[in-house]
Structure 1
Amino acid sequence: MVDAISIAPELPFKQQVLELAAHLSRSIPNPDQTNIREFVASFEAQVQVEEGQEISEEKKKEVVKSIVGKFVELKGGLEAAKESEVESSHLLLQYLLSTSFDASSEDYSSAIKSVAEAVKKGAEGSNKAGRVEAGARILNNTYNLLPASSPLRPSVLLTLLSLLAGPSDLSSLPLTTQTLTIALAQWQLSSAEKVQFLSSASELFQSSGSLPRALDLLTLALKESVEAQLVEKAILVALAVQDKFELDDVLSVQGVKEQLSGKAAEVVSLFEGDEVEAVGKGQKWVAANGSWVESAGITGFTADSVLRKLRLIALVALAAKSETRQLEYAPIAKALSIDESEVETWVIDAIRSKLIVARISQPQSLIRIQSLSSSSTSARRFGSSEWQLLEKRLTEWKKSVSEARSVVEEAEALAAQGPVVQQQRRGGGNRRQQGQGQGQQQQQGQGGEGERQGQGQGQEEAVVA
C-alpha cells in the first residue's frame, strides 16, 4: 500500500457526471436500453444549464451527493461489464469528490465512508468471480488517494480488512507492523481512536485465524493505552498463538504489569516461576478455571494449550539445566506429569516448535540435547544455578582441552626422535598385531553368535523438526 497521485481528468464537470452515470446504468436492475437512457437522462437534467452559464458550486455538490447516493444504492456499481471499468469509474468518483468538497468537511467524510461500505457490500454479495479482488483494489486505491494524514484512512483500511477477512486471506495485504506504526504516527487521530482502530483490526485478523498479526496489533494498541481489558485480551491472544512460548512482547510494554489482575494475572504467574513446578500448578489452575478459559472465546486459548506450553517450557528447562546434555525418559515423565510412553511425543513437539534440537535414543531411553532455542525463556534466564552449571561445564571443557594438548605434545616429541625410533615402534606394533592375529584365528567361529546378538543395539533415530 503506497500513496498515489491522482491525475485530474481533462473532462468538464458535466462530462464527468455523465461518465459516472453511464457506468452506474449497467448496474441497475433490468438494464435494458430504455432504463439505461432514462437513468443517464436523469443526471443529464441535473447538470443542464443555460448556454454561457456555469454550474454553481452548491449545485455541483448536490449533483455529486446524488451520484454518491446511487453508488450506495447500487452497492458500489460493481456489476459493470468489465472490472477495469469499475476501477476507472471509482477513480473518477474519488477525483470528483476531492474537487467538489473540502477534505475536512462532514460531507466529504460521509461520502468516502458510504462509498467504501457500498463497495464492500457489493463485493461480498456479488455472484461474479473476482468481485472480491476488484472491490479490494478499489478500496486500496481509495486509501492511497487519501492524504497520508487523513483521518479517513483507518476507516477505509478497516473496510478493506473486513472484506478480505471473509473469503480471502488477510496475509495478501502488505500491512506490516512497521508500515502500520508509520501510518499511526501520520493519521490525525486521538489515542483513543487509534486504540479503537487497532482493536477492531485485531478482531478481524483473529477471526481469520491470523493470531500472530492480531497480537501485533494489540501490542501496538497497548503502547497507546494500557486499559485493563486490552491488557487481558493481549495476554490471552499471546497464549493462544501455538508457537509462542513467552509473554515478553506484551509484559515489556510500560504499565502492562500494573494493570494485570484477576484470572489473567494468575495465568501469567504460571509462566514466571519455576518451570517444572509450574506444570503441577498449571494442572490445578486449569481444573479450577476451565470455564473461565472457555468463556474467553479466543480460538487457540484452551486448557490443553496452556498445559502444553507449560510442559514444553519445563522440558526446555530440564534440557538447559542438564550437565551432560542427556535426559532419561523417567525424569522427563515425572517433570511433565506424563507417562514414559508419551515422552517421545513431547520431545518431538518441542523439536517441531523449534525449542530444542535433539536426538532420541530409543534403546537407551535417552534424549541427547544438541542445542536450545535462544528465544525460549528458559534459555535466556540466567541465575545462580546457571552460573554454577556454566562453571562446571567450563571446567570439564578445560580438562578435555588439557588432555588433547597432552596427546599433541606426545606426538610432537615422538616426531622429534627421528625415523629410526618410529620404525622400531611400528615394528613392535606389527609383531603385536601378528600375535593378535593368531589369537583371532583360534577364536574364529566362536564369537559369531555373540556378534549377531549385538547387532541393532545402540541405534539412534534422528528427529528432525
Structure 2
Amino acid sequence: MPAPTTTLLIEGTFEELVEELATYIDNLKKAHGDEDSNIQAECTALLAENKKDDVLKKLVTGSATLNEAPEKEFIAAYNLLVHLTRQSPNLNMFLPRVCQNLSAPVRSSPANGAGLALSILSTVFNTLQPDNDNRYHVFLAILSVVRRSANFETLRPQLKHLDQWLAAWDMDEEDQRKLYLAIVEVATVAGEEEHAYQYLVRALRTIPSDELSTPESQQLSLRALKSALTHPTHFDFQDLTALDTIQALRNSHPIYFQLLEIFTADLLDDFNDFKDEHDGWIEEQELDADALNRKMRLLTLASIAASTGQTRSLPYAHIAKALQIPSSDVEMWVIDVIRAGLVEGKLSQLTQTFLIHRSTYRVFGENQWREVASRLDMWRNSLVGVLQVIQMEKASFIQMKDAENKEIEAKLNGATSGRAGGFSRLRKEEPELE
C-alpha cells in the first residue's frame, strides 16, 4: 500500500500543527497496516482540556512510525515534531524518545536513511543552547547513527569541540565515560583504531578510585592494553602505566601486567623468556603473536640505539644479535624502525654500522638522567675549550693589532720628520729680496 504524500510546513498555531502531524501519523500507520490508529482524535480531546504535554506524549509515542515516511517527507515530518516539542517547557521529557527514534534505521530509505537522520539530529543539536545538557543526548544519538553508517568522516571534525561541550554540559564522570565509549565503538566500526584507543584511555581516566577493581574497569583496562600491544604504530606505553586502572591489573591480571612491563622497558630476550614461562598463553588470549614479535624487535632496536652513549653507532652484528635475526635482514629492520619514528640515522654498508642521529628513550628514569647529565658535562667541557680558544685568539688579535698600530705610528712619525727637515732647507736656499 502506498504511503501518504502529505506536504508539511512549520507554520500555524500549536493546535493546527498538532492536528496536521497527528493526521499524518495516523495516515502513515494505516498505510502500513495499523487501521486502529486514532492519534488525531485523542490529541483533539486532550487539546480541549489544554493538556499540551499529554498531546506531545501522544505524538512522540507515535512518532516511531515516521521512520516509514517517504524520503522526501521525512525531514519535514520530523522538523514539525521537533518544533512542537520545543514549545513545551518540559523538553527533557520528549527529546530522548525523539532521538531514540532517529537512532533507529530509516526503513523507508535504507541507502540515505543515515544522512536524513543526521540532518534532523544536527538541526536539533544546533537549535539548543550550548550549555543545554539535552545536547548530550542528541550527540549520543548522532554517534549511534554514525556508527550504523560507519561514516567516521562525518564525526571527525566535531571531535575537536568535545572537551568544550562537556565543560558546558557539566557532565559527571559516568556520563563522560558513556560518551567516550560510544565514540570508541564508532571509531572501532569505522576501522579508526587510533581514535578508538585515545577515547578508550579517556574513558579509563573517568573511573573513580573506588571502582578500579570492578568488572567494567578490568574489562576496559584489558581492552586498552590489548589495543596498545597489537596496534602497529603504538610504541609508548607510559600513557597506560600512568593510569590507576591499569596499575590495578597488577593484582587482578598479573600476567597481562607483566607483559605490559616488558613492552614498556624490556628487550626481546625478556619477551622470549616470558613466552617460555607462559607457553601458549598469548594464543589463548587471542593476541597476535606475529604483531607482538615485530613490535618487540622494533622496541629492542630503539632501546639499544638509545644506549649507544657517545659512540652513536651500532655495528650490524650487534643489531643482528639483539634482534635474533640474520645479518642480511639488519638493514630492513633499521629502515622499519626509522619509519616508525623511533630512531633517526644513516646506514653505512661500507663499515657495516648504523650511525645514529637521534634515538628515543622508551622510559626516562634514573639511568637516562645520568646519561643526560654526562652529555651536559661533555658539552660544557667542549664549550669551555671553545671559549678558551676564542679568548686566546682574541688576545692574539689584540696584540697583532697593537703591533700594527705601533708600526704605522712609527712610520708616520718618520715621514713627518723627513718632511719638516726638507722644508727648512728649502727656506734657507731662497734668495733674499733687496
TM-score, normalised relative to structure 1: 0.67
What does 1:278-357 align with in structure 2 at a 5 Å threshold?
Answer: 278-281=270-273, 283-284=275-276, 287-294=279-286, 302-322=288-308, 323-357=310-344
Cα distance in 2 for partners of 1:256, 1:412 equals: 65
- The verdict on how the C-alpha distance between 1:167 and 1:25 changes in structure 2, with shifts beyond 3 A counting, is same
Q: CA deviation at 1:186?
A: 4.4
Q: CA deviation at 1:277?
A: 4.8
Q: CA deviation at 1:354?
A: 1.5
TM-superposition CA deviations, 1:307-361 (whole Å, max 9, x none): 3332222212222222222212111111122222222222122121112222222
- Residue equivalent to 1:250: 240
Q: CA deviation at 1:98?
A: 2.7
- Residue equivalent to 1:13: 14
Does the CA contact (< 8 Å) of 2:313 and 2:354 recur in 1? yes
Counterpart among 193, 196, 211 of residue 214 in structure 1: 196
Q: CA deviation at 1:12?
A: 0.6
Cα distance in 1 for partners of 2:239, 2:341 equals: 19
- Residue equivalent to 2:77: 89
Aligned residue type for 2:192 = S
User: Is residue 268 of structure 1 aligned with residue 260 of structure 2?
Assistant: yes
- Residue equivalent to 1:57: 50
Does the CA contact (< 8 Å) of 1:282 and 1:307 recur in 2? no
Counterpart among 132, 148, 158 of residue 140 in structure 2: 158
Structure 2 unaligned regions, length at least 5: 1-8, 405-434
User: Is residue 238 of structure 1 aligned with residue 248 of structure 2?
Assistant: no
- The verdict on how the C-alpha distance between 1:20 and 1:256 changes in structure 2, with shifts beyond 3 A counting, is same
TM-superposition CA deviations, 1:15-73 (whole Å, max 9, x none): 32355468769977979xxx9xx99x966655558xxx963333x44543444344312
Cα distance in 2 for partners of 1:219, 1:66 equals: 42
- The verdict on how the C-alpha distance between 1:366 and 1:24 changes in structure 2, with shifts beyond 3 A counting, is farther
RCO (CA 8 Å, sep 6+): is it higher in 1 or 2? 1
Counterpart among 369, 386, 389 of residue 371 in structure 2: 386
User: Is residue 126 of structure 1 aligned with residue 92 of structure 2?
Assistant: no
Does the CA contact (< 8 Å) of 1:317 and 1:378 recur in 2? no
Does the CA contact (< 8 Å) of 2:60 and 2:98 recur in 1? no
Does the CA contact (< 8 Å) of 1:235 and 1:250 recur in 2? yes
Cα distance in 2 for partners of 1:379, 1:188 equals: 36
User: What secondary structure does 1:338 align onto?
Assistant: coil
Does the CA contact (< 8 Å) of 1:143 and 1:153 recur in 2? yes
* Structure 1 or 2: more helix by fraction: 2
User: What secondary structure does 2:356 align onto?
Assistant: strand
Aligned residue type for 1:122 = V
- Residue equivalent to 2:218: 228
- Residue equivalent to 2:414: none
Q: CA deviation at 1:140?
A: 2.4
Q: CA deviation at 1:270?
A: 0.6
Q: CA deviation at 1:175?
A: 6.3
Q: Which moved more, 1:141-150 or 1:256-265?
A: 141-150
Structure 1 unaligned regions, length at least 5: 1-7, 295-300, 419-465
User: Is residue 205 of structure 1 aligned with residue 187 of structure 2?
Assistant: yes
Cα distance in 2 for partners of 1:215, 1:234 equals: 6
Does the CA contact (< 8 Å) of 2:338 and 2:345 recur in 1? yes
Aligned residue type for 1:325 = R
Does the CA contact (< 8 Å) of 1:361 and 1:368 recur in 2? yes
- The verdict on how the C-alpha distance between 1:285 and 1:391 changes in structure 2, with shifts beyond 3 A counting, is farther
- The verdict on how the C-alpha distance between 1:136 and 1:9 changes in structure 2, with shifts beyond 3 A counting, is closer
Higher radius of gyration, 1 or 2: 2
User: What secondary structure does 1:165 align onto?
Assistant: helix
User: Is residue 80 of structure 1 aligned with residue 104 of structure 2?
Assistant: no
**Identity, % of aligned positions:** 22
Cα distance in 2 for partners of 1:158, 1:66 equals: 24
- Residue equivalent to 1:5: none
- Residue equivalent to 1:172: 154
User: What secondary structure does 1:99 align onto?
Assistant: coil
Q: CA deviation at 1:213?
A: 1.9
Cα distance in 2 for partners of 1:133, 1:264 equals: 42
Q: CA deviation at 1:133?
A: 2.1
Cα distance in 1 for partners of 2:373, 2:163 equals: 43
- The verdict on how the C-alpha distance between 1:80 and 1:287 changes in structure 2, with shifts beyond 3 A counting, is same
Cα distance in 2 for partners of 1:238, 1:302 equals: 12
Cα distance in 1 for partners of 2:365, 2:221 equals: 24
Paired positions, count: 383
- The verdict on how the C-alpha distance between 1:163 and 1:407 changes in structure 2, with shifts beyond 3 A counting, is farther
Measured on the aligned residues, the alpha-carbon RMSD in Å equals 4.3
Cα distance in 2 for partners of 1:342, 1:278 equals: 21
TM-superposition CA deviations, 1:402-443 (whole Å, max 9, x none): 898699789979x9899xxxxxxxxxxxxxxxxxxxxxxxxx
- The verdict on how the C-alpha distance between 1:187 and 1:210 changes in structure 2, with shifts beyond 3 A counting, is same
